[in-house]
Amino acid sequence: MDASPGTAAERAPEAEPYRLDPAGGCPHAANARLLAQGAVAPVVLPGDIDGMVVLGHDALRDFLSHPDVAKGPQHFTALAEGRIPEGWPLRTFATVPGMTTADGADHRRLRTLVSSAFTARRVEELRPRVEAVTAGLLDGLTAAAAAGDGVADLRRHYALPLPLGVICELLGVDPALQDRLHRLSSLVVATDTEPAQAVAANRELAELLAAITAAKAAAPGDDLTSALIAARDEGGDRLAQPELIGTLLLLIVAGHETTLNLVTNAVRALCAHRDQLALVTDGRATWADVVEETLRWDSPVSYFPFRYPTRDLTVDGTLIPRGTPVLAGYSAAGRDTAAHGPDADRFDLTRTGAAKHLSLGHGPHYCLGAPLARMEAAVALEALFTRFPELDLAVPETGLTRHAGFVGNSVRTLSVRLGAPAR
């Protein structure tokens, strides 16, 4: 990365800005076209806000860890100038107090408060519980298929309740609130939510999280929410109330949406590539290999908001002016042929020599829940295909409706036919 300021006349991008579709859609064709023009591309965000996306693997890796790139909303020029309305669909990404909008010492302070819940050791301690939850969900998936002429929505009955149930259990959230939390968080992170609906969803979600914390404050338990409340109350300077609400929001959204998409996308990939599934069932590849290749090949997050250069930066020959909202193009970086070879668009569990994917981030904001997401997905996939080795899509890939928005990358439903269970 060339961090010299340059001049706008010398370095400004010449390509016509790519207008991101708030309704989402499969990102891969557009990513390929943009990558053919360079590792960085200008984009138009909802509301005609100018932004940029870093798509190339190497450029993104360097950008994510650059010392002159920040996450704090005070660095977002359009926001500081009052050009971002209250109902802007991406406003929560930019402004929610917490780890995702903090830098430096504040970021380290907030991350430290929750990091102990997501260490590799703690995740391994959770494995038996995840396996038990998975077994119960497979029973539920079987019942749903029996009621649906052999067809069930795997996303609704399996890929969603596993990570959502686990993160809510970690946080000590009443299971009765899970559906409401998922509905509200989906509205908050979707990029096609209408302004009035976005404002209402954000308000309702904040009120719900405040009610959860109030209940925990009155009756603490052995859970992460109670621990965060204790940190808030410990002298009053370790965790402010808005940071507590923002941290819970982050943990709930990131704690289930990413894994939900990861499991969904992995099932789609294996059903479309039965030869790769055979590699796993024959012992020539592992379920961990499936998770990593899915993360690279069909990242659960496509364009993640936001980072802002704190001064003009030139990235792969393209000027990104100070204060520009920049998206991390994870789905594009995963298929960048410069990093992953000429067959980067091929799902291949035996891939060797390629660069490590960036789908869980890089640098100081690397996904805190990565070990948990990896473990949950591997357990879910192994249990699913062990019980239902003939499982296949009930709807052709071309007939699947895409995720709402350009942040998450998956499909809204995944109808599958279970086939005969293993004996």
Who contacts 17 (Cβ-Cβ below 8 Å, separation ≥6)?
A: 41, 42, 43, 44, 50
Q: What percent of the chain has pLDDT over 70?
A: 96
- Between 404 and 399, where is the model more confident? 399
Q: Which residue type is seen at 389?
A: P
In this prediction, residue 82 carries a pLDDT of 95
Phi, then psi, of 405 in degrees rounded to 5: 115, 170
Report residue 202 CA to chain centroid gap.
19
In this prediction, residue 318 carries a pLDDT of 95
Which tokens belong to 350? Answer: 């035996």
pLDDT at residue 117 is higher than 80: yes
- Over residues 37-47, the pLDDT tens digits come to 999 999 999 99
Burial of 176 per CB tally in 10 Å (0-12, 13-18, 19+) = exposed
In this prediction, residue 10 carries a pLDDT of 41
In this prediction, residues 327-336 reach a mean pLDDT of: 98
Place of tokens 């091929």: 346
**What distance in Å separates the CA atoms of residue 409 and residue 403, rounded to the nearest whole number?**
6
In this prediction, residues 281-302 reach a mean pLDDT of: 97
- Over residues 173-232, the pLDDT tens digits come to 999 999 999 999 999 888 998 999 999 999 999 999 999 999 999 999 999 999 888 877
pLDDT at residue 236 is higher than 70: no
- Over residues 126-163, the pLDDT tens digits come to 999 999 999 999 999 999 999 988 999 999 999 999 99
Q: According to DSSP H, which parts of 219-286 are helical?
A: 224-233, 241-272, 274-281
Torsion sign, CA atoms 105, 106, 112, 115:
negative
In this prediction, residue 16 carries a pLDDT of 86
Helix (H) or strand (E) holding 306: strand 303-309
Which residues lie across from 70 on neighbouring strands?
308
Which tokens belong to 26? Answer: 């499969």
pLDDT at residue 241 is higher than 70: yes
In this prediction, residues 28-44 reach a mean pLDDT of: 96
pLDDT at residue 338 is higher than 90: yes
- Between 14 and 108, where is the model more confident? 108
Helix (H, G, I), strand (E, B) or coil at 42: strand
